[in-house]
């Protein structure tokens, strides 16, 4: 079979996260597994496909979840899909997070908006071997309290002795009791040694740019900051050419890159 053709998945559950974001639970018809941070191409049969990074635990074998924001033609199709529909998946593709390199480290995870989706998969993977890490700080910024995803799980994420969870929103009604401010405002006074810690960032390009600059300012080493990049992708296999930037295919050489390797490239944040 051609490497560009999808396998069947049944959409077994849809979870409304926010007015524009839903989490879809898929049951693959043929065996499927992924490393956290890898992405898949989801197909709406006969209509189109797009790349997404699963938001579920890589250790969960019989189903996987993808959290999708409605932003364009294909995501609109998914948002209109019904439980029980049979859709398609290709992949997984790309490198994923190098979990073994994180061993024994203090980790800072910074998520922006729907960028928390791939990071949730990572968080599940980290929690499954929590003894491997010294400390985990998770900072999550959403546009407003209504835009926070996984609300029903955040308490569960906080409920770990080694974990500190910081939440902020860009703007809020006066009734909001939590922090207000962009995600970089949560990065001061971190309870970790920034010189030796590892940073993992996922969010919109502008957020990743400013978080990266902030982390460098805080003393993080550029080769210990990992970014999950996204670009227009068609094949996901390093053949169609769409996602190449400079000397990298985002799909094949990434989507997870060390800041060190891309910080001097042109157009990387666009």
Residue 43: C-alpha distances to residues 20, 75, 127, 181, 261 (Å): 19, 10, 30, 37, 31
Q: Does 80 bind another protein (CB under 8 A)?
A: no
Interacting span for another protein (CB under 8 A) from 5-13, 54-62, 135-143, 166-174 = 5-13
**Shortest CB 218 distance to another protein, Å:** 26
Is residue 196 within 8 A of residue 171, CB to CB? The reply is: no
Taking CB under 8 A as the criterion, the residue among 16, 159, 188, 267 binding another protein is: 267
**Shortest CB 53 distance to another protein, Å:** 14
Q: Does 19 bind another protein (CB under 8 A)?
A: no
Cα separation of 187 and 151, whole Å?
21
Taking CB under 8 A as the criterion, the residue among 15, 240, 258, 261 binding another protein is: 240
Q: Does 143 bind another protein (CB under 8 A)?
A: no
Cα-Cα-Cα-Cα dihedral sign, residues 34, 88, 251, 203: negative
Q: Does 165 bind another protein (CB under 8 A)?
A: no
Helices (H), 182-266: 205-217, 250-253, 259-262
Q: Which residue, 93 or 102, is less far from another protein as judged by CB? A: 93
Helices (H) and strands (E) counted in the chain, each on its own, are: 7, 15
Q: Does 1 bind another protein (CB under 8 A)?
A: yes
Interacting span for another protein (CB under 8 A) from 10-18, 19-27, 99-107, 261-269 = 261-269
Residue 182: C-alpha distances to residues 141, 154, 245, 246 (Å): 6, 19, 28, 30
Q: Does 28 bind another protein (CB under 8 A)?
A: no
Q: Does 270 bind another protein (CB under 8 A)?
A: yes
Tokens coding 127? 């929690």
Q: What phi and psi values does residue 127 have, to the nearest 5 degrees?
A: -65, -30
Taking CB under 8 A as the criterion, the residue among 45, 178, 181, 219 binding another protein is: 45
Cβ partners under 8 Å of residue 185, min gap 6: 168, 179
Q: Does 72 bind another protein (CB under 8 A)?
A: yes
Taking CB under 8 A as the criterion, the residue among 37, 39, 40, 49 binding another protein is: 49
Give the footprint of another protein on residues 195-224 (CB under 8 A).
Answer: 204-205
Q: Is 102 exposed, middle or buried (0-12, 13-18, 19+ CB in 10 A)?
A: buried
Q: Is 240 helix (H, G, I), strand (E, B) or coil?
A: coil
Q: Does 46 bind another protein (CB under 8 A)?
A: yes
Q: Which residue, 1 or 16, is less far from another protein as judged by CB? A: 1
Q: Does 30 bind another protein (CB under 8 A)?
A: no
Interacting residue ranges for another protein, rule: CB under 8 A: 1-6, 8, 43-50, 71-75, 88, 204-205, 230-232, 234-235, 237-247, 252, 266-268, 270
């Amino acid at each position: 079979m051609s490497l560009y053709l999808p396998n069947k998945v049944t959409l077994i559950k849809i979870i409304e996260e926010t007015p524009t974001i839903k989490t879809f639970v898929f049951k693959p018809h043929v065996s499927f597994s992924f490393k956290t941070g890898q992405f898949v191409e989801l197909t709406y049969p006969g209509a189109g496909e797009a790349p997404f990074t699963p938001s579920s635990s890589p250790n969960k074998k019989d189903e996987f979840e993808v959290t999708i924001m409605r932003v364009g033609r294909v995501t609109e199709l998914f948002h209109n899909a019904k439980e029980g529909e049979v859709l398609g998946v290709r992949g997984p593709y790309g490198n994923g997070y190098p979990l073994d390199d994180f061993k024994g480290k203090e980790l800072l995870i910074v998520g922006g908006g729907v960028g928390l989706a791939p990071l949730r998969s990572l968080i599940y993977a980290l929690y499954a071997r929590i003894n491997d890490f010294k400390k985990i700080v998770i900072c999550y910024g959403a546009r407003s309290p209504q835009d926070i995803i996984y609300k029903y799980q955040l308490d569960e994420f906080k409920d770990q002795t080694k974990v500190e969870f910081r939440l902020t929103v860009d703007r809020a009604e006066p009734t909001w009791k939590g922090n207000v401010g962009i995600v970089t405002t949560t990065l001061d006074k971190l309870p970790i040694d920034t010189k030796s810690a590892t940073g993992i960032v996922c969010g919109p390009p502008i957020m990743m740019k400013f978080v990266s600059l902030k982390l460098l300012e805080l003393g993080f080493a550029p080769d210990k900051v990992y970014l999950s990049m996204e670009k227009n992708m068609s094949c996901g296999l390093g053949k169609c050419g769409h996602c190449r930037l400079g000397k990298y295919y985002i799909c094949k050489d990434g989507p997870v890159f060390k800041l060190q390797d891309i910080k001097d490239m042109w157009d990387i944040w666009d």
